[in-house]
Structure 1
Amino acid sequence: MGTTYSLYLYASSATEADAESAAVFEEIDRLEQLLSNYRESSELSRINREADSSEVTTDPETFEFLQTSLEWSALSNGAFDITVGKLMKAWGFFRASGHRPTQQELTQVSNEIGWEKVQLDPQRRTVRFLSPGIELDPGGIGKGYAIERSVAILRADNVQAALLSAGSSTIYALGAPPGTSGWKVRVPTLGDHQNTLSTVTLRDTSISTANCSEKNFIQNHHLYCHIMNPHTLQPVEGILQVSIIDPSATASDALSNVLFVSSARQRASILQHLPKDSAFIITGTRLTSRCKTIRWTGTRNGYCSSRMANKTH
């Protein structure tokens, strides 16, 4: 899925740890075969190739994943949109370092995205694109979904303490290491993984981070981030990082992107409806600058490192 998964766990022996690790990574590999748009052989890639010309019958798991994705699109009024595949390619953020598309390219892309153009039939478990050129991109939710399914395996095997990470963009903390209240998870400084922005203690919950530092390009002194606003067809501006804690890894993955794309007023409204969640949002236009404080909404505490974005709230 374009990232590296890491697992830390407590077990009674090396043999048991190896067995649990193997089961988790086999599950991630299995989901990669279903949901990755980096693999031409995946079920998602097959749907991308065929669903604009005919109904595609898919397996129950992939269908459930698509239903969940579209539900997030509906809940966020399209701030999260799994159909941004062509938009990501137009801006050069799929297997590339990024470039600014022409207006003609964006006009073409405008006809090739839109979550409302994906039709699901639960009775027949079929997928159909209502417009040609639609391309699904699971980047804003797929890693969290894989984490959640893998944690279910650990729970079923009665693992008491484990930490599973998808390239640090989504992390789930299961239980707690012996003698502690939870897993201490560091949120690295934007653009500098060697330094820590905030440290949180997590237990039976997840944290997801969406930020500009992983994929971006600068043209004419202007920063372009890989996180797209599906409404404007442009990279989001003025936001540099969003981190959110939610009990569900799938939800936190999707929400980190929803909050990134949404306006300040929309973010406030979303978080008011998630009283058990905690989040912080870093605003600004430069990847390295100074800040004074970081405030988590909810019950978490955070602190600022010496180098960060120019504003926080």
Structure 2
Amino acid sequence: AAVSGADHDDRRLWLIMGTTCEVRLRTDDARAARRAFDAAYRELALVDSLMSLYRPSSELSRLNRTAANGMVTLSQPTWDVFEASMEVAGKSDGAFDVTVKPLMDLWGFHRRAAHRPGPTQVDSVMSLVGWTKLAVDVERRGVTFGTAGMALDFGGIAKGYALDRAIGAIESVGIENALIDLGGNIVARGSIHSGAVGWPVAIRDPGQPDSILTAVRLVNEAVASSGGYEKFVVLDGVTVGHILDVRRGEPVTGVLGTAVLAPQAMLADALSTTLFVLGPEAIDWLTRRYPAAEAMVMLASPAGAGGKSFYSHASRDRFDCDFRERLPVPAVTIFTRFLPVECGPRGPAPLYSASRNAAVGLVTRTVFPATGEEALPRSRPARGRGRPSSSPSGFHHGSDDVMERPRPTRSSKSTV
């Protein structure tokens, strides 16, 4: 790990919840750092085990199998996510709705075999969708489905919840400066280095994913994005993203991407999906209902390239960070939507990307300095040591590839 004065920049890169996760800590206490990494991983693994759609034994899978037959009592973590989902669903008039799973299955996004269903099929499945069809017992944390065939999908909110738990675990061991990037959703505490304000993060252009649109400095808060540019299919010659408008039963079109800043990662996660469905007209609604949140929406142009961006009032100053011009990024597989970058008099620091090879469980991290190129060593899962290998789950914002879970690794060089 790189050292600047007394600051040790320590990192771990994992595959979990169907996506990549990088944890960065700035501390001079190596023992506390190890405890923090372990604690953060435990929280991520807990949420994965409870809320994965790809684990038959998960609590969410059990709920989906049995809640039509009677009330299912949820654990506190799963209830926390469910309760937050219902709140956002109510405030958004159903634009955010975790009962989306039957529609996701119909369109084939969970099976990675998407197809365009006919109107009759959509109408039939729409009878299985709708958050108001759920019977909820708040005192007993109970949920009952109103009709057989209903099912929940926490893909638009669970990663944010996992981040909130993980960053809380890191803080509990005394680490004050940390950043966690889980598949493009980021939460940060403290600062990137002594004397800095927060953690600068560059945001990719959803219309041109190999370029940077803008940047934001996270100060004890979270940022999340939604977009169809990382998981999409081409149906009848038309590119279709995986985010569905539950009210219409069809994928959202016209919106390239959204980004939301909020005090909690779970809120940012849910609101970025909500705003993607509602479009820029909902920005004022969002900031009225959630005064602590800021947002950005980018629309597609008629020609299909990057279009116009819309911002909430205060976020025009937030989404800047002296990083106005586009910075090309090499055409590599980038699984994070947000790239840590240092803005200031020295200019942008190196960007990094994370790519993976599902066949061999290989994780590769590559650094792209502002001048020249330099690659970090590849890190393979340790054989016969560490946590047992298993297949991580997948949420619909990530991937459902079956891969080894790597042993946490330490990068040999800092990206900033």
TM (norm. structure 2) is: 0.69
Question: Is structure 2 residue 199 aligned with structure 1 residue 183?
Answer: yes
The answer on 1:31 being equivalent to 2:47 is: yes
Aligned with residue 22 of structure 1, among 33, 38, 41: 38
Report the 3-state secondary structure (helix = DSSP H, G, I; strand = E; otherwise coil) of the residue aligned with 1:108.
Answer: helix
1:305 and 2:326 aligned: yes
The one-letter code sitting in structure 2 at the alignment partner of 1:190 is: P
> Which residue does the alignment assign to 1:311?
none
2:139 matches 1:139: no
The code of the aligned residue for 1:157 comes to V
Percent of residue pairs bearing the same amino acid type: 32
Aligned to 2:227: 211
- Distance in 1, Cα, partners of 2:275 & 2:145: 27
| Local SS of the residue matching 1:138 | coil
Q: 2:93 aligns with which of 77, 81, 90?
A: 77
1:219, distance to aligned residue in structure 2 (A): 2.5
Measure, in 1, the Cα distance between the counterparts of 2:210 and 2:33: 28
Contact 2:25 2:178 in 1 (8 A): yes
Counting only pairs closer than 5 Å after superposition, residues 168-179 of structure 1 correspond to structure 2 as: 168=184, 170-177=185-192, 178-179=194-195
| Further displaced range: 295-304 or 252-261 | 295-304
Q: Which amino acid aligns with 2:191?
A: A
Count, aligned residues:
306
1:119 corresponds to 2:140? no
- CA shift, 1:3, in A, is 1.8
Structure 1 residue aligned with 2:295: 279
Contact 2:300 2:308 in 1 (8 A): no
Cα–Cα, structure 1 residues 290 and 65, in superposed 2: closer, same or farther, change >3 Å? closer
Decide whether the 8 Å contact of 2:222 with 2:263 is kept in 1.
Answer: yes
Distance in structure 1 (CA, Å) of the matches to 2:301 and 2:55: 34
Greater mean deviation of Cα atoms: 207-216 or 55-64: 55-64
Deviations 1:136-181 (A, max 9, x none): 000110000110111111222221100011111x100111122211
Cα contact 1:141–1:254 (8 A) shared by 2? yes
| Mapping of residues 231-242 of structure 1, within 5 Å | 231-242=247-258
CA RMSD of aligned residues (A): 2.2
Secondary structure of 2:70's counterpart equals coil
Q: Secondary structure at the match of 1:10?
A: strand
Separation in structure 1 between the aligned mates of residue 325 and residue 237 of structure 2, nearest angstrom: 26
Unaligned runs of 5+ in 1: 308-313
CA contact (8 A) 1:185 1:201 kept: yes
Checking the alignment, whether the CA contact within 8 Å between 2:301 and 2:308 is kept in structure 1 is: no
The C-alpha deviation readout for 1:25-71, integer Å capped at 9, x for no partner, is 11110111111112111101100000011111222222222111111
Q: Is the 8 A contact 1:292 1:304 kept in 2?
A: no
Higher helix share: 1
Larger radius of gyration: 2
Q: Report the alpha carbon displacement of residue 16 of structure 1 after superposing the two structures with TM.
A: 2.8
CA distance change for structure 1 residues 304 and 244 in 2, over 3 Å: closer, same or farther?
farther
Aligned structure 1 segments of 4 or more residues deviating by more than 6 angstroms: none
Indicate the residue corresponding to 1:166 in structure 2.
182
Amino acid at match of 2:25: L
> Where does the alignment leave 5 or more consecutive residues of structure 2 unmatched?
1-16, 329-416
2:169 matches 1:153: yes
Q: 1:102 to 1:294 in 2, by over 3 A?
A: closer
Cα distance in 2 for partners of 1:167, 1:26 equals 17
Residue 227 of structure 1: aligned partner = 243
| AA partner of residue 82 (structure 2) | L
Letter in 2 for 1:71: E
Output the CA distance in 1 between the equivalents of 2:180 and 2:121: 39
The answer on whether the counterparts of 2:283 and 2:295 sit within 8 Å (CA) in structure 1 is no
Cα deviation 1:206-236 (Å, max 9, x = unaligned)? 0000011011122333221111101100111
Shift of 1:271: 2.4
Aligned AA for 2:269?
Answer: D
Residues 216 and 226 of structure 1 are in contact (CA less than 8 Å); yes or no, is this contact kept in structure 2?
yes
TM-score normalised by L of structure 1: 0.90
